[in-house]
Chains A and B, each alone.
Chain A
Amino acid sequence: MNAASLPLLQNALTVGAILFSLGLVGILTRRNLIVMFLAAEMMLQGISVSLVAWSRYHGDFGGHVLVIFVLTVAACEAAVALVFVLQAFSRTGRLDAAAWQSLREATVGRTIDRELPAVDTVPPRFPTLTPAGVQPATDADDALEREHV
């Protein structure tokens, strides 16, 4: 409640506002369902930062308690939403929001995927470990049965 903590409040509120705006952009523009949920969680993070900043400014625990409930609701939301995402994926085989565009408003145009240039297929270079010890003997029959090992 003192003037000295006003700059900290303003800065923290700005951080919260940036997080909320980034989450808004993400949820508006991304098409992957899981990235959309990440963006929604990011908006919740922005809200949490703002609530805690106000709580610090006013010197009581109201904001902290609200953030605990935000955490609870976020956990519930993630559980239910990820089930929906999995169901949507098993129906369409895609994590694409546009796979469900038959649910859109009648006045909204259809999303048409344009032709994309091919991704350059240069394999990524991962760091390699230096070999250590003796290479164990492999059983040919065993390798046939366990092809992923």
Chain B
Amino acid sequence: MNPVPLASGGLLAGAIVATAASLWMLLPNGREFQSTRRLGLLLGAAAMLAFVAAGRRLGGLGEEAVFLLVSLVAVVSAAATIVSRSPVYAAIWFALSLTGVAGVLLVLGAQFLGVATIVVYAGAILVMFLFVLMLAQPAGLAPYDRVSNEPFLAALAGAVLLGVLSLSIGRLSAGVPACCAPPARAAAAGAATDAPTAAGTTPAAAADLAAGPPAAVAADPLSDNQVARLGAELFGRHLVAVEAAGVLLLVALIGAIAIVSRGEAALAAEADAVRAADRRTSR
């Protein structure tokens, strides 16, 4: 429960304030390429440096050079996503941010999720976004892309949220609270989850789980066979949730098609009504 040292706390607070100020200067406000944006860029770079310095003080961010690199890519391109005037550039910056996030996930030992983030987000969802942009984007910069709603208040809200979150993150300590001490928690969780899975799954799966429950083996998520153990966890303990997710995907698919077809019918009806009104007035 050692509090955050004063110097690094001040550094972190300065970094948060500088982030908010640079966001406010960078967000679209009707001006194009003026000195405010350059100042905002400078402030943003200073904020990133201060974050790195504070992280080094808080917990040895310098040890993980790779983590530093990928998290900087993720954060900087995330900021560029929300301050880009052109939505196409925003989408491409978001793809770069996803690459950084995938790198962070890989550093954290989530190999499957890192690859899945690239495949599902950058490969599928982002391409869908770009399709819609190509369908719907007018030529040139639209006026609503050049202004933002209340950029100062929004940057302030972001800074307050970030301050509160990083304050509570800095207060984390290695000590485990009495409510969830590790042995008791693990034993309780094992007792609570083994019974339903043993009852709900096939005998073979139950035997597998009994032989090597994934939660118990996974003391080191970086060890071998991670994907296999993740699959065993997913289709063992969380089988019902997987079924529910499948139903959700189906419902979303059908719902999207239904909305499109009904919307097109309504648009055609509107167009018919307008044409009928035109005919009536022209007579």
Binding site for B on A (CB under 8 A): 1-3, 6-15, 17-26, 28-32, 34-35, 37-39, 41-42, 45, 48-49, 52-53, 55-56, 59-62, 64-65, 67-69, 71-80, 82-87, 89-91, 94-98, 111, 113-114, 116-117, 119-120
Residues of A within 8 A of B252 (CB): 75-77, 79-80
- Are A78 and B169 in contact, CB atoms less than 8 angstroms apart? no
**Chain B, interface SS category:** helix
- Are A59 and B219 in contact, CB atoms less than 8 angstroms apart? yes
- Are A39 and B59 in contact, CB atoms less than 8 angstroms apart? no
Residues of A within 8 A of B230 (CB): 61, 64-65
- Are B169 and A10 in contact, CB atoms less than 8 angstroms apart? yes
- Are A75 and B125 in contact, CB atoms less than 8 angstroms apart? yes
Residues of B within 8 A of A13 (CB): 165, 169, 172
Given contacts A39-B81, A56-B110, A94-B144, 18 further A-B contacts (CB under 8 A): A1-B176, A10-B169, A14-B169, A24-B154, A25-B82, A28-B157, A29-B150, A31-B147, A31-B148, A32-B145, A38-B91, A74-B125, A80-B252, A80-B256, A95-B136, A97-B144, A113-B144, A117-B32
Subset of 28 A-B contacts with CB under 8 Å: A1-B176, A8-B64, A8-B108, A11-B71, A13-B165, A15-B71, A15-B75, A25-B157, A28-B153, A29-B149, A30-B28, A32-B145, A34-B90, A34-B132, A37-B129, A45-B74, A45-B101, A56-B221, A59-B218, A64-B230, A69-B241, A71-B120, A75-B252, A79-B253, A91-B267, A95-B136, A113-B147, A119-B32
A3-B174, A7-B60 known; A76+B249 contact, CB < 8 A? yes
A85 to B259, CA, bound (A): 11
A12 to B84, CA, bound (A): 25
A70 to B41, CA, bound (A): 32
- Are B61 and A11 in contact, CB atoms less than 8 angstroms apart? yes
- Shortest Cβ-Cβ A-B pairs, 7 listed: A7-B59, A26-B82, A3-B174, A76-B252, A29-B154, A17-B165, A25-B158
Residues of A within 8 A of B198 (CB): none
Interface residue? B43 (CB, 8 A): no
Residues of B within 8 A of A74 (CB): 120-121, 125
Interface residue? B30 (CB, 8 A): yes
- Are A28 and B129 in contact, CB atoms less than 8 angstroms apart? no
- Are B94 and A22 in contact, CB atoms less than 8 angstroms apart? no
- Near A by CB (< 8 A), chain B positions 49-82 give 51, 55, 58-61, 63-64, 67, 71, 74-75, 78-79, 81-82
A61-B214, A80-B256 known; A11+B55 contact, CB < 8 A? yes
Residues of A within 8 A of B174 (CB): 2-3, 6
- Are A24 and B158 in contact, CB atoms less than 8 angstroms apart? yes
User: Of B94, B154, B158, B166, which contacts A38 at CB under 8 A?
Assistant: B94
- Are B218 and A21 in contact, CB atoms less than 8 angstroms apart? no
Instruction: Give the shortest distance, in Å, between B99 (CB) and chain A (any CB).
Output: 11
A22-B78, A31-B145 known; A6+B259 contact, CB < 8 A? no
- Are A72 and B148 in contact, CB atoms less than 8 angstroms apart? no
Residues of B within 8 A of A62 (CB): 215
A139 to B84, CA, bound (A): 42
- Are A10 and B150 in contact, CB atoms less than 8 angstroms apart? no
A84 to B260, CA, bound (A): 8
Instruction: Give the shortest distance, in Å, between A107 (CB) and chain B (any CB).
Output: 16
- Are B59 and A11 in contact, CB atoms less than 8 angstroms apart? yes
Residues of B within 8 A of A32 (CB): 87, 90, 142, 144-145
- Are B74 and A15 in contact, CB atoms less than 8 angstroms apart? yes
- Are A29 and B148 in contact, CB atoms less than 8 angstroms apart? yes
Instruction: Give the shortest distance, in Å, between B129 (CB) and chain A (any CB).
Output: 6
A45 to B95, CA, bound (A): 12
Residue of A nearest to B70 (CB): A15
